[in-house]
């Protein structure tokens, strides 16, 4: 929270839009400063004396210019919602196409706007050839980055502006018939944008009532942090519950309770799903319904089976824990996390994190030699 992030932009600039999108996806709080490019501010001239252009990012007094460079800087500084893939080849490809957009597609788009007659026909032809290259790259994926929005999706957002301009002027050059994949991608981005505009305005009030050793509070805290949602934390004394806790959770009178714009949500797993449905950043649940069902199954398994072991006879509990760890071990095999093995980001099953302290105890007592579980538990 001590971080100071200022973003100088201009509402109509597609380059500024890149930075805005990245900041929102990553859930980074920032101060926005709208620039009047006909009368540039001393701040812009001071921090971007070479190009004197927006966007410009000023992070703790250090300035970063050029939209694509800003995206990389944000990605290297904040780990929420990674924009570039951990795979070097995928990173190289994303950078290649972003460069292609800026150096080829963009000049063609300028030609399109500024030409008439034969010149325009030629520009349309060139534009269509370039779009085909991007359409091929996007085929079979939801986003250029795969299952979620990444660096290249952000770099290509200027196609949205182009599409919207076409809708307004009636000059439809980028049609669903000719470019079905890009068209669908545009619709997806427009829908998402509405959601995260609504979801990331600083006017949102999010409070978490928790208790520091509670694994259930920890689930919600982790989810809020992974999603980059700013929130106010209220520590509860469970031996002397606050009137607010009793008001917001009159049925169970337990923590955690999430209060979002005065609406209380209780039960940690219910809260996780609520957060996931309201904030697009860092999705927890997989998109595939079967994978979602599996994640929910394991979360329920953890709560109903593993969670109740403390009350049983110690020896029985340890034996049962070993069997259950074996089941979890099989589910975890070949993956880094229960979900999202491909990008090394904990997903919905990061709920399992709260198992960590319990499992560590069982693990140590039994000296279980289960390497995979030990890596997951951070004991390797």
Ligand X SMILES: N[C@@H](CCC(=O)N[C@@H](CS)C(=O)NCC(=O)O)C(=O)O
Cβ(81)–Cβ(26) under 8 Å? Answer: yes
Interaction between residue 130 and ligand X (CB under 6 A): no
| Secondary structure letter of residue 26 according to DSSP | H
Binding piece for ligand X, criterion CB under 6 A, among 49-57, 113-121, 131-139, 189-197: 49-57
- What is the smallest separation between the CB atom of 193 and ligand X, expressed in angstroms? 18
- What is the smallest separation between the CB atom of 200 and ligand X, expressed in angstroms? 22
Tokens of 185: 């991608």
Nearer to ligand X, 17 or 254 (CB): 17
Interaction between residue 67 and ligand X (CB under 6 A): yes
Cβ(233)–Cβ(222) under 8 Å? Answer: no
Select the residue interacting with ligand X from 8, 25, 55, 80 (CB under 6 A): 55
Nearer to ligand X, 109 or 295 (CB): 109
Interaction between residue 52 and ligand X (CB under 6 A): yes
Nearer to ligand X, 164 or 327 (CB): 164
- What is the smallest separation between the CB atom of 207 and ligand X, expressed in angstroms? 37
Nearer to ligand X, 103 or 261 (CB): 103
Which among 225, 199, 221 is positioned nearest to 1, based on CA atoms?
225
Interaction between residue 15 and ligand X (CB under 6 A): yes
Nearer to ligand X, 41 or 242 (CB): 41
Interaction between residue 100 and ligand X (CB under 6 A): no
Cβ(254)–Cβ(201) under 8 Å? Answer: no
Site string for ligand X, 24-43 (x = CB under 6 A): -------------x------
Q: What is the separation, in whole angstroms, between the first and last Cα of the chain?
A: 32
Select the residue interacting with ligand X from 7, 13, 26, 174 (CB under 6 A): 13
Neighbours of 259 (CB within 10 A): 21
Which among 186, 149, 114 is positioned nearest to 283, based on CA atoms?
149
Cβ(3)–Cβ(57) under 8 Å? Answer: no
Quote the distance between the C-alpha of residue 329 and its chain's center. 27
Interatomic CA distance for residues 324 and 312, integer angstroms = 15
Interaction between residue 20 and ligand X (CB under 6 A): no
**Phi, psi dihedral angles at 12 (to 5 degrees):** -90, 0
- What is the smallest separation between the CB atom of 155 and ligand X, expressed in angstroms? 9
Nearer to ligand X, 21 or 377 (CB): 21
Which among 219, 207, 193 is positioned nearest to 257, based on CA atoms?
207
Select the residue interacting with ligand X from 28, 47, 57, 66 (CB under 6 A): 66
Nearer to ligand X, 13 or 130 (CB): 13
Closest residue to ligand X: CB criterion: 53
Nearer to ligand X, 37 or 293 (CB): 37
**Phi, psi dihedral angles at 199 (to 5 degrees):** -90, -15
Burial-class residue 271 by CB neighbours within 10 Å (0-12, 13-18, 19+): buried
Interaction between residue 53 and ligand X (CB under 6 A): yes
- What is the smallest separation between the CB atom of 67 and ligand X, expressed in angstroms? 3
What would the DSSP string read from start to end of 108-139?
A: HHHHHHH--HHHHHHHHHHHHHHHHHHHHHHT
What would the DSSP string read from start to end of 290-304?
A: HHHHHHHHHHHHHHH
Interaction between residue 9 and ligand X (CB under 6 A): no
Binding piece for ligand X, criterion CB under 6 A, among 64-72, 107-115, 247-255, 272-280: 64-72
Q: Would you tell me which residues interact with ligand X (CB under 6 A)?
A: 10, 13, 15, 37, 52-55, 66-68
């Amino acid at each position: 929270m001590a971080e100071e992030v200022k973003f100088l932009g201009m509402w109509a600039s597609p380059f500024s839009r890149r930075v805005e999108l990245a900041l929102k996806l990553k859930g980074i709080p920032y101060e926005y400063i709208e620039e009047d490019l006909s009368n540039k501010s001393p701040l812009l001239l001071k921090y971007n004396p070479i190009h004197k252009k927006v966007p410009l990012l000023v992070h703790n007094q250090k300035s970063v210019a050029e939209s694509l460079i800003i995206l990389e800087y944000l990605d290297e500084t904040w780990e929420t919602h990674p924009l570039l893939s951990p795979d070097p080849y995928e990173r190289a490809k994303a950078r290649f196409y972003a460069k292609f957009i800026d150096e080829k597609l963009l000049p063609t788009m300028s030609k399109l706007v500024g030409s008439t007659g034969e010149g325009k026909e030629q520009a349309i032809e060139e534009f269509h050839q370039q779009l085909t290259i991007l359409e091929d790259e996007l085929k079979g994926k939801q986003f250029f980055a795969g299952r979620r929005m990444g660096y290249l999706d952000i770099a290509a957002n200027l196609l949205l502006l182009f599409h919207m301009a076409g809708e307004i002027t009636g000059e439809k050059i980028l049609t669903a018939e000719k470019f079905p994949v890009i068209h669908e991608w545009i619709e997806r981005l427009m829908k998402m944008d509405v959601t995260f505009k609504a979801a990331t305005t600083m006017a949102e009030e999010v409070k978490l009532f928790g208790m520091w050793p509670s694994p259930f509070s920890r689930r919600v805290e982790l989810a809020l942090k992974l999603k980059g949602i700013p929130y106010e934390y209220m520590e509860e004394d469970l031996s002397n519950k606050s009137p607010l806790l009793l008001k917001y959770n009159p049925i169970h009178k337990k923590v955690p309770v999430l209060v979002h714009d005065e609406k209380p949500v209780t039960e940690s797993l219910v809260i996780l799903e609520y957060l996931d449905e309201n904030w697009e950043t860092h999705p927890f649940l997989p998109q595939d319904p079967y994978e979602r069902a599996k994640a929910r199954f394991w979360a329920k398994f953890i709560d109903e089976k593993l969670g109740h072991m403390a009350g049983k006879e110690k020896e029985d509990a340890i034996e049962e824990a070993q069997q259950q760890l074996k089941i979890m071990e099989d589910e975890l095999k070949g993956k880094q996390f229960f979900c999202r093995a491909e990008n090394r980001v904990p997903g919905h099953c990061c709920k399992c994190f709260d198992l960590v302290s319990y499992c560590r105890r069982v693990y140590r007592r039994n000296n279980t030699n289960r390497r995979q579980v030990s890596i997951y538990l951070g004991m390797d």
